[in-house]
Amino acid sequence: MSKKGVLTVVSGFSGAGKGTLMKALLKKYDYELSISATTRSPREGEEHGREYFFLTREEFESMIETGKLIEWAEYVGNYYGTPKEYVEQRLNEGKDVILEIEIQGALKVREIFPDALLLFVTPPNITELKSRLVGRGTESMETIMKRLARASEEANFMEHYDYIIVNDDLDECVETTHQVIMNEHYKVSQNKNFIEAITAELKAMKEGAI
């Protein structure tokens, strides 16, 4: 229905499987994953404009000052942010754009794009979350407990999201996510032009013009 793209923001607990979900979703369906800007150095195999837009601190700070970022944050001495122009261009072309960002950033996106769709990805329960984090085998128990403590803070923001996406079975989760985004095209807020057209047509008919 609506021709304008839907802006979807995906957040969730670390260990909820967001990355795997995004990969599977983008492989199967035609979404644009927004590319973040960062001041950190490219790792081996990373390309400018594919994994990230790699910028100097001066370039990044100039984007902050000129309001060209939807949201940004500084982690461990590096900036990370979402360029506004890239997102707006894709939406205007009718592409559905996905941002995978953490909660504070997601809430900032909602301020700038009130019609953004906010999805929160979670495992079916916390025992599952813990066993996924342990299962990775890459982190110490201390780090895992820190992640769970962080998740405990993050859980307080779930109610600010629109939908809860439970990642239990990956294929099912991909389909649910896709359907939730597709349905957004039928929302009244996405169809203001259609409503205006129908209203104008009815008015003209009532007045005998057609």
Question: Cα–Cα distance between 39 and 43 in angstroms, integer?
Answer: 12
- Which of 10, 14, 16 is CA-nearest to residue 128? 16
Judged by CB, which is closer to a copy of itself: 64, or 197?
197
- In whole angstroms, how close is the CB of 180 to a copy of itself at the nearest point? 5
Site size toward a copy of itself (CB under 8 A) is 42
Per rule CB under 8 A, is residue 134 in the interface with a copy of itself? Answer: no
Q: Is the dihedral of CA 156, 120, 161, 100 positive or negative?
A: positive
Q: How far apart are the first and last CA of the chain?
A: 25
Determine, following the binding rule CB under 8 A, whether residue 155 of this chain makes contact with a copy of itself: yes
The secondary element (H helix, E strand) that includes residue 180 is helix 170-184
Interface with a copy of itself, residue 156, by CB under 8 A: yes
Contact footprint for a copy of itself (CB under 8 A): 1, 120, 122, 125-127, 130, 148-149, 151-152, 155-156, 158-159, 161-166, 176, 179-180, 182-183, 186-188, 191-192, 194-195, 197-199, 201-203, 205-206, 210
